[in-house]
Amino acid sequence: MSYVSPRDFVGKMIDAGEAKALMSTRDTLIRAFMAGAILALAAAFAVTITVQTGNALLGAVLFPVGFCLLYLLGFDLLTGVFTLVPLALLDKRRGVTVRSMMRNWGLVFVGNFAGAIVVALMMAVVFTFGFSVDPNEVGQRLGEIGHSRTVGYAEHGAAGMLTLFIRGVLCNWMVSTGVVAAMMSTSVSGKVIAMWMPIMLFFYMGFEHSIVNMFLFPSGLMLGGDFSIADYLLWNEIPTVVGNLVGGLAFVGVTLFATHARTGDTRFIAEPSGERADERALATNGSAR
């Protein structure tokens, strides 16, 4: 697997954050668009498997194929840049500012959303034969997901909003762990294995991923889901984005940076002297005999 030590892969995280913050607008949008599109296809794939087999675990086991592909192709998700770019700012890399970080986040959001919407439209055409017939079973399921994970939260009021936010936090804790885990290995197989586990966990547990939701909910609206655009934005996308930001930074990015890039001073333990030193020497000599 060619394991990379934490100190070394945290250095790679900071380098990656710097590169993303300073990337051209053109490249940022292209990479974000493709990432959103590939992840949307993976979500459609996982929902199709779940509906056709009746086994949600199987869908979750196979969903990470999309994440692994987009990572290996060098594309960018909002959840990943939430974690990596701030580290370059904390490390005071030249040219990385709050403005450049916000610019990167904004461009990646737009690119991810555009890619996910394009795939949502394509899949809606597939599920309805160009909107000429009612959605098939998979299309109907997408509409149900949109309703249960927007209106379903709204029915619980503040408690629903808190639950949505926490699910967003837990999601990017796992997704960003997958991003970082890929840096723990220098081999393709090692990267894929390390990424697969946390991504499978987040999907099966039903945590809220802002980019996956950019496909699921617009797709559900196109296929007759019983919820509105306002429901989607207020009771899913916006709180999920905030939760993803907090989860990626608090539990992955800043945590690893603090303990591996800015390691605390090693505790110094003074050697005992006087009578205690004599006692230790005596004990050592006695045990030697």
72/186 Cα distance (integer angstroms): 12
Residue 274, in any domain of the structure: no
**pTM for the whole structure:** 0.91
Provide the domain limits for residue 184: 6-129+137-260
Instruction: Report, as ranges of residue numbers, the positions in the chain whose pLDDT lies below 50.
Output: 281-284, 286-289
Select from 213, 239, 225, 219 the least CA-distant residue to 156: 239
Q: What pLDDT digit, counting tens, does each position of 234-286 carry?
A: 999 999 999 999 999 999 999 999 999 998 877 777 665 555 555 554 444 54
Q: 98-113 in b/e burial notation, b at 16+ Cβ within 10 A?
A: eebbebbbebbbbbbb
| pLDDT value of position 264 | 81
Residue 275, in any domain of the structure: no
| pLDDT value of position 266 | 79
Residue 110, in any domain of the structure: yes
| pLDDT value of position 213 | 97
| pLDDT value of position 286 | 47
| pLDDT value of position 273 | 56
170/247 Cα distance (integer angstroms): 6
CATH code for the domain in which residue 50 is found: 1.20.1080.10
| pLDDT value of position 287 | 43
Residue 101, in any domain of the structure: yes
Residue 96, in any domain of the structure: yes
Residue 265, in any domain of the structure: no
Longest dimension (CA), the chain: 93
| pLDDT value of position 288 | 44
Total domains in the fold of the chain: 1
| pLDDT value of position 272 | 58
Q: Using an 8 Å Cβ cutoff, are 87 and 17 in contact?
A: yes
Residue 123, in any domain of the structure: yes
Residue 64, in any domain of the structure: yes
Share of the chain above pLDDT 90, in %: 90
